[in-house]
Amino acid sequence: MRLHVIMSSGGEDPDREKEQETRPQSRDGPVVSAFKQAKLEKEAQKNWDLFYKRNSTNFFRDRHWTTREFEELRSCKEFEDQKLTILEAGCGVGNCLFPLLEEDLNIFAYACDFSPRAVEYVKQNPLYDAERCKAFHCDLTQDDLLEHIPAASVDVVTLIFVLSAVHPDKMHLVLQNVYRVLKPGKCVLFRDYGLNDHAMLRFKTGSKLGENFYVRQDGTRAYFFTDVFLAQLFRATGYEEVVSEYVLRETVNKKEGLCVPRVFLQSKFRKPLRTP
Ligand SMILES: C[S@@+](CC[C@H](N)C(=O)[O-])C[C@H]1O[C@@H](n2cnc3c(N)ncnc32)[C@H](O)[C@@H]1O
């Protein structure tokens, strides 16, 4: 297991748990009934859309760390005037997308999400430029990305806090879908919740859906990854592991005297140069 420890006084990462109580809770106990689980799966898109209806573009902070953590997101790395085509899969309202487009004029970005409202927010953003970006609605578990993106044409795919929102039985469908549009030899960049992240430890009894899988009060769900689970998932879809490491972060809230331990998993998986 590789660890990468960062102390910080402000969170740059999704802070979904701020809607939950801060006192410790017992999160185990019986899992949610099969009937309710089926309903949550059926209503996953609706629940995310309602999330954006409530929060508009104000919930997640802009993620300015992506180029620091992933050099693949910088153009002109391999040669002068190198252009990059990226796909931000599950882009939300563009908190990763717009910092990238602003910083680097050599990027063209596809961005998709299954919340129609989130996609609309992306298109309405003053930084949205149809010459440099194509945002579209897509359920990554069932809508073929090839309807919007040519096969094997994308240099980098990002999955930033997205796979955790997908039912574990369907995660491989997302990976198969993005595989088809990725160029051979290029990578999927992944960052998401790690096992025992503070957000997981604070779930209350009655919110457990399965192993490492929980439901929030608003009906959106979160899976907490181990490096072993993630590597198996990607390898079974034909990817090669480049790197996978836990990022341990302590978010310090000086005003409230709280120190919140966070665990994220950050990884890169490559589509092999020669595909079977
Ligand atoms: C925690 S948000 C992260 C958004 C964005 N990547 C960011 O970093 O700000 C998770 C996003 O995944 C999207 N999502 C969840 N399941 C999806 C699916 N099956 N297909 C496409 N998007 C999905 C949600 O609508 C939501 O916008």
From atom 1 of ligand 1, which residue's Cα is the shortest distance away?
161
Q: What is the chain's length?
A: 276
**Which atom, in ligand 1's list, is nearest to the CA of 93?**
9
Q: What is the pLDDT of residues 144-184, one digit of tens each?
A: 999 999 999 999 999 999 999 999 999 999 999 999 999 99
Question: Whose alpha carbon is nearest atom 14 of ligand 1?
Answer: 90
Q: Which atom of ligand 1 is nearest to the CA of 170?
A: 19
Residue 200: CB atoms within 10 A of its CB come to: 19
Paired tokens of 104: 């680097």
Positive or negative CA dihedral for 217, 191, 224, 251?
negative
CB 47 within 8 A of CB 218: yes
Instruction: Measure the CA–CA gap between 214 and 144, rounded to whole angstroms.
Output: 27
Q: Which residues line ligand 1 (CB under 6 A)?
A: 14, 48, 60, 63, 90-92, 95-96, 113-115, 118, 138-141, 160-162, 165-166
Which of 48, 93, 96, 189 should be mutated for ligand 1, with most atoms under 8 A from CB?
48
pLDDT band at 21 (very low <50, low <70, confident <90, very high): very low
Where is average pLDDT lowest: 78-82, 118-122, 237-241? Answer: 78-82
pLDDT at 276: 58
pLDDT given for residue 8 in this prediction: 47
How far apart CA 176 and CA 234 sit, in angstroms, is 9
Q: Running DSSP on this structure, what letter comes out for residue 71?
A: G
Q: Domain map of the chain by residue range?
A: 3-270
pLDDT at 16 over 80: no
- Output the pLDDT for position 13: 47
Q: What tokens does 262 get? A: 């966070």
Q: Choose between 70 and 266: higher pLDDT.
A: 266
Residue showing tokens 């309202």:
93
Query: Residue 256 contacts by C-beta under 8 Å, 6 or more apart in sequence?
Result: none
- 107-113/133-137 β-pairing: parallel
207 versus 22: the higher-pLDDT residue is 207
CA dihedral sign, ordered 102, 104, 109, 111 = negative
Provide the token pair at 56: 């508009």
Q: What is the pLDDT of residues 55-90, one digit of tens each?
A: 887 777 777 778 888 888 887 667 777 789 999 999
Give domain 3-270's CATH number out of 3.20.20.80, 3.40.50.800, 3.40.50.150, 3.40.50.1370.
3.40.50.150
**Ligand 1 nearest-atom number relative to CA 60:** 9
Q: What is the pLDDT of residue 1?
A: 59
Find the 184 Cα to ligand 1 centroid distance in Å.
25
Q: Cα–Cα distance between 218 and 169 in angstroms, integer?
A: 21
